[in-house]
Amino acid sequence: MTAVGELHRCPPPEVLAAFVDARLPRERVVELTSHMASCAECRLVVESVQEFQAEDQQEKPEPQRGAAWRWLAVAAAVGASVLAVPGRDWWLENTRAAVTLGRSFWRMYQREPATPERALWRTYQRETARQDLVEAAAKLKFRPVEPRLTGFGWAAAPPTYRGPGNDEDTIDELIINAKAAAVIEATEHDASAEAAHLRGIAHLIGGYRGAQSVDELKTAAVSTNDAKMWSDLAAALLAAREYTNALEVANRAVQRDPDLDEGWFNRALATESLRGDAVAAWNEYLKHDDRSPWAKEARERIGRLRDGY
């Protein structure tokens, strides 16, 4: 059995889920297989999740992308809060019990009628899921999409081309994809505008369905008329290359909240994509933000525009 002091060497649940779903880069498959040869806990988790997936497949013949995250993520949450015993690590002592209980809890939760307590739980669930996405995105070398999403930090714009040998997701990309899948699954039965907003972002940054992202974010923005939701809808439209609609929506976002930096950034990006007066649009952005990494990127964009690139 793995010693307690060696547990930190075990891969995170998202990596185990990627292994089960056959989404792990080839070199990491070899590494993880070698690890599991000497780690009974990771072997048990993978075998348990594979069993549950096989049962689910019998119930739902249609294949589900990234389904393995569910039992791993829920088991971690349930195990940490329910199965933890002072002085003993739940992962070591209760691995299969945590996965099994997590699975049962998830199915029971989906069947429960709506209650005030459940509404509060869903609010907490949305907030923590969004924070998970923000933290996972912060570890990426490139941000998931070129436009700005409200509340997400700066990272370099994604490259327009991934060369030979770079077509496989990195571990950090696998993790954020798994967390995005978790958000979509966890909010499936939540009809609130906040849940639609979160699902839209998850679809967008998880690389799932662009049209679904636009639909979800449009639902959220129209129902709330919230500037942040309009700005995120503009980001989804930009990612979908619907530049004219993106500019209109970004204008609506900054009209609703003239201090919303994300809205001004997406407005400038849409103007540049439409070959409008992008220099003026980026300078307008800099009136609202002249110090952040986003401002530095805006100046670099102005420089490229003036140089004819």
Q: Compute mean pLDDT per 10 residues along the chain, 309 residues long, and list them.
A: 47 75 74 80 75 65 53 47 42 54 52 58 76 90 95 92 55 84 82 93 82 94 97 96 97 98 98 96 97 97 91
Quote the tokens at residue 138: 């912060």
DSSP 8-state class, residue 83: I
Q: Residue 33's pLDDT is what? A: 81
Say what the pLDDT of residue 101 is: 54
Helices (H), 21-168: 26-38, 40-59, 69-78, 90-93, 95-111, 116-137
Query: What pLDDT shows up at residue 229?
Result: 97
Q: Map residue 159 onto helix, strand or coil.
A: coil
* CA gap 69, 58 in Å, rounded: 18
Phi, psi of 88 (to 5 degrees): -135, 135
Look up residue 190 and give its two tokens. Answer: 């939540």
Long-range CB pairs of 46-49 (<8 Å, 24+ gap) are 46/16, 46/19, 46/20, 48/95, 48/96, 48/99, 48/100, 49/16, 49/17, 49/20, 49/99
d(CA 293, CA 81): 38
The CA distance from 230 to 220, in Å, is: 8
Residue 128 CA to residue 115 CA, distance in Å, equals 20
In this structure, what token pair is assigned to residue 93? Answer: 């002592």
pLDDT of residue 181: 84
Cβ atoms 278, 268 nearer than 8 A: yes
- The structure's pTM equals 0.70
**pLDDT score recorded for residue 114:** 55
